[in-house]
Amino acid sequence: MNLDVNTLFLVTIYVEAILGLLLLFVWAQNTAIHAVAWWGFAHLLRAASVALFGLYGAVSDLISIDLANALLFTAFGLTYTGARIFDHRGPRLILLFGGAIVWLALSCLPGFAGSFSARVLLSSGIVTAYTWATAYEFWRGRAEPLISRWPVIFLLFAHGALYLLRTPLAAMLPWLPTGNQVFASVWLTVLSFEALLFTIAIAFILLAMAKERTEHGHKTAALIDPLTGLANRRAFLQDGEAQLSRQANNPRPTAVMLLDLDHFKSINDRFGHAVGDRVLETFADVASGSIRRMDLFGRLGGEEFAALLINTTRERAQVVAEEIRSSFAAAAREVDGRPVESTVSIGIVVSHDAVLDLSVLLAQADHALYRAKDNGRNRVEVASIEAILERARRSAGERAGAVSLTQAVAKTAA
């Protein structure tokens, strides 16, 4: 069964227009992703170019060939520009309209205008250049964890390769006995059908990529501290519990650190919250540089941070903590030209148990942090059973003293 080229043209126009309107509708619902609007207009412009191609023979070649191709190249330029904008790079007008300008300029030359092969070769080259350039723009942004980015790159590369092979394949494939060289080519039928499938697939994958980025942004906002870029309390506890559960069957020494900036309230009072924020950012940078990528580090809230060090002995944890403490003291001696002289106190607990509970480890690290604060701050303390019992006795004594005082006041009042 032969595919009717004219029917394919009509279907392509309809599909391109519908997809363009769909993309614009999605963009209207979330105008923050501007690239979707560029891609929507690209589909609408392709629909217009295909409509002009379909008028071949009924109107002059200036409209059905030259103008149609100029619109087609501009449509691919819009897709390319949308890829740049999607990855936060600005549009380049010369690249957006460059293909159309080159085509129209060469079409004015009699030698080029009369050579069917030269025109096919140039149009194929322009489309391939735009398609591969678009794939390259998406590839440049591969550091962003978007799974749907990869099928987009593959589709664009494959589509560009097929266009590039259009000229040699056209010479090899047979002609249909219709008498019209342009529409009789079997290759044109194949190319039209492939273009239809491509435009449907690429539109939906681009939509999926935009949706994936939106969902990733929401997830990031829920799990990342906006000031320091570290995991927030929720993310740290969630990832920490998952990390500990994975090693339950193969226990390794695990260290938990609680880190609290000393006298942070006074820094805000003396120098303002802007300087206080810079101190927090400085600490996050310093501490992150001392902690391995495999470990967890997050901000629990305010000036309190926590770290989970996997496969780390007591001695190694103390070395890391001392490095953080001394490096931060040096880095925060002066912040934004202000003599801040901020320091940090650190409490550590190390567990070798097979069954680990992050909340218990944090509570024990908090005992060590309390001891570091109690012993003068700007120091590192490791939790021990003696220290925990000593703090418990102090707390019990303070509560007993408060009860005795309350009873004495009550008796006096009586």
Tens of pLDDT, residues 257-276: 999 999 999 999 999 999 99
Q: How far is CA 255 from its chain centroid? A: 30
Q: Are 214 and 35 in contact (CB under 8 A)?
A: no
Q: In the chain, count H helices and then E strands.
A: 17, 5
Mean pLDDT for 220-229 is 86
Q: Are 198 and 75 in contact (CB under 8 A)?
A: no
Mean pLDDT for 93-106 is 93
Q: How far apart (Å, rounded) are the C-alpha atoms in residues 261 and 280?
A: 9
Fold of 233-395: Alpha-Beta Plaits (3.30.70)
Cβ within 8 Å of residue 404, ≥6 positions away: none
CA–CA distances in Å: residue 413 to residues 136, 406, 409: 83, 11, 6
Question: Where do we find the tokens 């470990």?
Answer: 295
Retrieve residue 259's tokens. 């880190």
pLDDT > 90? residue 397: no
Q: Output the average pLDDT for the chain.
A: 85
Q: Is the dihedral of CA 90, 94, 99, 104 positive or negative?
A: positive
Q: How far apart (Å, rounded) are the C-alpha atoms in residues 282 and 389?
A: 35
> pLDDT-based confidence at 407, cuts 50/70/90?
low
Q: Mean pLDDT lowest for which of 196-205, 214-223, 225-234?
A: 214-223
Mean pLDDT for 101-109 is 91
State phi, psi for 44 to the nearest 5 degrees: -65, -40
Rg of the Cα atoms in the chain? 33
333-361 pLDDT, tens digit per residue, is 999 889 999 999 999 999 877 556 888 89
Q: How far apart (Å, rounded) are the C-alpha atoms in residues 95 and 97?
A: 6
Instruction: State pTM to two decimals.
Output: 0.67
Q: How far apart (Å, rounded) are the C-alpha atoms in residues 55 and 65?
A: 9
> pLDDT-based confidence at 390, cuts 50/70/90?
low
Which of 23, 39, 105 shows the shortest CA–CA distance to 77? 39
pLDDT of residue 170: 53
pLDDT of residue 355: 53
Q: Is the dihedral of CA 193, 195, 199, 205 positive or negative?
A: positive
140-173 pLDDT, tens digit per residue, is 999 888 999 999 999 999 999 887 776 565 555 4
Q: How far apart (Å, rounded) are the C-alpha atoms in residues 409 and 398?
A: 17
Cβ within 8 Å of residue 56, ≥6 positions away: 64, 65, 182, 183
